[in-house]
Structure formats: structure tokens, C-alpha cells
Amino acid sequence: MFAGEFRDRRIDLLGVTIIGTATGLGGGVLRDLLLQTPLVALHTNAYLIVAVTASLFGMLLQHVLNRVDGTITALDALTIGLFGAIGTTKALSLGVPEVPAVFVGTVSAVGGSVIRDILLNRPIALMHVGSLYAIAATGGTVVLVVALRFGMVIDYAAPIAVLVTAVIRLLAVRYGWSLPEQRALSRVPRLGWRKRG
């Protein structure tokens, strides 16, 4: 979904393929590394073929995709929700406690975008004001963990978690929601020691 923007940076087809593939598979790879399990993306040809194909289509069809930007944003929101739910579910199935499982799910959802920004040598988007990417993913994974804790079956809990992530992300984009910016250190009140007379 991000391959179209690479064209403006004068990246060739090989670069687009590498970065697009890393973006698409990066979250799952980081998830498996955290869980110390075999890398699922390398167990079959399908993952790499789909990632490479999507990357190339994203660049070649950039002008077409720009016309359906809203649809792309919605698909992206659903994708991070899906990746988050898969990562969290896999962690829980391996006996990982709930809080670390939420962390694994969040990394699974946003890890690809972090790798993309590193490869493009630009600021990591989710670390800056204006992005609720990680917050949306975390919200969905928390809902999933809580739902499972209260006995809801995964077949219902997972879709609800994906939907929660997507809704948070889409509302953030629609209304420009963001987390508060860090205040300058000079504005933070400081406590001083009073000298006793």
C-alpha cells in the first residue's frame, strides 16, 4: 500500500520490491523473532510472491490508487487490525501472558511501517505527532485479550478486535486525532530544595 510513494523518491524497481516486501512482511517477521518461532514468511512461496507483486503494483498503479485514497486508508486500517489480532493470538497460544501478548500484537501490526521508515532513512512515523497507528493497534489487541479473558470465543473476539483497530484508525484520520506533543523541558515545572535557615 505504500509502494506508490517510493516513486517520488526515485527508487528503482528493485528498491521498491525490497522496501515493499519488508513493509508487508516485517511485522510478522518481528513477531516470530520475539516469540522465538520459525519465520512463517519463509515457510512457503506465497508470502514473498504476494508481497513482491503488491509492491510492484503499488508503484505501477500509483495514479489509479491515488484516486481511491479513502479505500486504501480503510484497507490499511483493517490490515493493521488483522496483523495485530494474529500476532496477539499467536502469542497467547504459545503461553505468553496477556500484557506481553498485546505488545507482540502491536509490534506485528506496526513493525512493517517502522522497517519501511528506517530503510527510507526518514523519521519513524508512529513516533511523531499525528499518528495513532500504534494506539489503534494496541486498542484492538487489548480488546481481543479482554474478550478472550471473559470467555468469548476467538471466532468472535478477533473480528471485533480488528474492527476496533480499524475504527480508531479511521476516526483518527478523519478528525485529525493525535497524542499530546511532548512539552519542552523548560516548561516542565521543577521542584527545588529550600535551604533551611
CA distance linking residue 114 with residue 31, whole number of Å: 13
Residue of 29, 43, 38, 20 whose CA lies nearest to 108: 29
Please say if the pLDDT value at position 188 is more than 70. Answer: no
The reported pLDDT for the residue numbered 58 is: 82
**Mean pLDDT of the 143-160 span:** 98
pLDDT digits (tens, 9 = 90+) for 78-130: 999 999 999 999 999 999 999 999 999 999 999 999 999 999 888 888 877 66
pLDDT digits (tens, 9 = 90+) for 34-85: 999 999 999 999 999 999 999 888 888 877 777 888 888 999 999 999 999 9
The reported pLDDT for the residue numbered 72 is: 87
The reported pLDDT for the residue numbered 8 is: 58
% of the chain with per-residue pLDDT over 90: 62
Q: How many C-beta neighbours within 10 Å does residue 103 have?
A: 17
The reported pLDDT for the residue numbered 184 is: 44
The reported pLDDT for the residue numbered 64 is: 79
Residue of 168, 195, 184 whose CA lies nearest to 74: 168
Considering the entire predicted model, what is its pTM? Answer: 0.85
CA distances from 91 to 15, 22, 36, 102 (A): 32, 22, 10, 8
The reported pLDDT for the residue numbered 69 is: 81
